[in-house]
């Protein structure tokens, strides 16, 4: 009889452990929220680390996709595959458990122009996420990262709203100054056009130099982690050289990483991993 009871106990314990393990697994969910600024529902994907349902609040990183992308990019197995990366870094304790979220910003380049994407992101999306999920809501636990046009957006938000973010990870940021090259997708969209023609003055009005010149009273900026591949075909190496020189001139903390590769996720995976570890250990 005791043997039967013991076997039943082991069986129940195994079932319980299986359920616990299922609850402890990380996950990525596709959701949406309604934006008054955009007057529509907008999709986002959100990553929850293992054991999210406990009462401990988490760090947060906002991930901005590039031109032609969507909320799928960062977590797609064919592109960002960021879930596995975060799982691994958290498991080996290279970074603290964190929530990661990415919004479908379409080809807005994250500014207020034809649509109010910047206002939607800063005034609506960030407060929505941090109200509805178990997140620490302070600068020291809030990060932002973006690739290409997303790096452009992450740079702009970090300079305009520096009190929001501890650090910004800029992966091949398309933050050209004074003007983008002919290969840039920014030339093809309405965001930076006047009467259907790309306007250098409009582009420059959103530039990092304009943002800093317009906010000279700000002295405490996030730390910027900037990277690119040495074979990037979109002239990003020049962008980074110019940006670094300007940041040094302005006494803005920055770290630069250049690795072998082009304008692709192979480079961004490696640089994002390196930079995220540095954010949590510097």
pTM of the predicted protein model: 0.91
What per-residue confidence (pLDDT) applies to 20? 40
What per-residue confidence (pLDDT) applies to 211? 97
| Tens-binned pLDDT, residue by residue, of the chain (282 aa) | 433 333 333 333 344 334 444 557 999 999 999 999 999 999 999 999 999 987 789 999 999 999 999 999 999 999 999 999 999 999 999 999 999 999 999 999 999 999 999 999 999 999 999 999 999 999 999 999 999 999 999 999 999 999 999 999 999 999 999 999 999 999 999 999 999 999 999 999 999 999 999 998 998 999 999 999 999 999 999 999 999 999 999 999 999 999 999 999 999 999 999 999 999 998
Walk me through the domains of the chain, giving residue ranges and CATH numbers.
Answer: 25-177+221-281 (3.40.50.1820)
What per-residue confidence (pLDDT) applies to 166? 98
- What CA–CA distances, in Å, run from 88 to 24, 50, 83, 91? 14, 11, 9, 5
Instruction: Return d(Cα 146, Cα 126) in angstroms, integer.
Output: 15
Helix 265-281 × helix 82-91 angle, to 10°: 30
Work out the end-to-end distance of the chain between its first and last CA atoms, rounded to an integer number of angstroms. Answer: 59
């Amino acid at each position: 009889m005791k043997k039967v009871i013991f076997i039943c106990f082991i069986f129940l314990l195994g079932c319980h452990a299986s359920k616990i393990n299922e609850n402890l697994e990380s996950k990525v969910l596709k959701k949406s929220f309604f934006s008054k600024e955009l007057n529509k529902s907008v999709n986002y994907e959100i990553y929850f680390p293992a054991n999210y349902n406990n009462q401990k609040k988490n760090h947060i990183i906002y991930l901005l996709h590039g031109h032609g992308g969507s909320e799928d990019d960062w977590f797609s197995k064919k592109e960002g595959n960021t879930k596995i990366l975060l799982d691994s870094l958290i498991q080996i304790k290279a970074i603290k458990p964190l929530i990661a979220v990415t919004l479908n910003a379409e080809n807005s380049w994250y500014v207020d122009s034809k649509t109010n994407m910047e206002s939607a992101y800063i005034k609506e999306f960030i407060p929505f996420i941090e109200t509805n999920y178990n997140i620490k809501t302070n600068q020291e636990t809030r990060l932002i990262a973006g690739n290409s046009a997303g790096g452009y957006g992450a740079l702009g938000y970090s300079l305009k709203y520096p009190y929001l973010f501890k650090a910004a990870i800029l992966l091949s940021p398309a933050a050209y100054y004074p003007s983008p090259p002919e290969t840039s997708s920014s030339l093809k969209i309405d965001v930076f056009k006047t009467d259907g023609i790309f306007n250098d003055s409009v582009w420059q009005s959103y530039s990092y130099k304009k943002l800093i010149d317009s906010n000279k009273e700000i002295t405490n900026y996030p730390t910027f982690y900037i990277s690119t591949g040495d074979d990037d075909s979109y002239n990003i190496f020049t962008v980074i050289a110019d940006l670094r020189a300007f940041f040094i001139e302005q006494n803005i903390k920055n770290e630069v990483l250049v690795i072998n590769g082009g304008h692709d996720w192979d480079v961004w995976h490696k640089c994002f991993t390196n930079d995220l570890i540095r954010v949590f250990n510097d």
